[in-house]
């Protein structure tokens, strides 16, 4: 299976301090990982620090 994370770095606060905002997005996602069974088809929107949707992650078959 594949894990895909897409973040639009031109969206929302991601452009203000790219490294800091991407780090925050990764920490938030990783902290919620245990809520998902991580099977193909699972996924969720990704939000910046102002709770604007800036991307998505998903699990796919290889």
Q: What is the mean pLDDT of each run of 10 residues along the chain (62 residues)?
A: 90 74 86 87 89 92 88
Strand ranges (E), the chain? 2-7, 43-47, 53-60
56 within 8 A of 6, measured Cβ to Cβ: yes
pLDDT of residue 61: 92
pTM, entire model: 0.76
pLDDT of residue 22: 87
pLDDT of residue 6: 93
pLDDT of residue 59: 94
DSSP state of 1: -
Strand partners, 5: 57
pLDDT of residue 56: 93
CA–CA separation, 54 vs 62, rounded Å?
A: 25
pLDDT of residue 4: 93
Neighbours of 48 (CB within 10 A): 22
């Amino acid at each position: 299976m594949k894990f895909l994370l897409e973040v639009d770095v031109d969206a929302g606060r991601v452009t203000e301090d790219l490294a800091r905002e991407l780090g925050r997005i990764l920490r938030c996602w990783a902290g919620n990982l245990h809520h998902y069974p991580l099977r193909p088809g699972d996924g969720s929107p990704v939000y910046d620090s102002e709770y604007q949707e800036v991307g998505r992650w998903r699990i796919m078959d290889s």
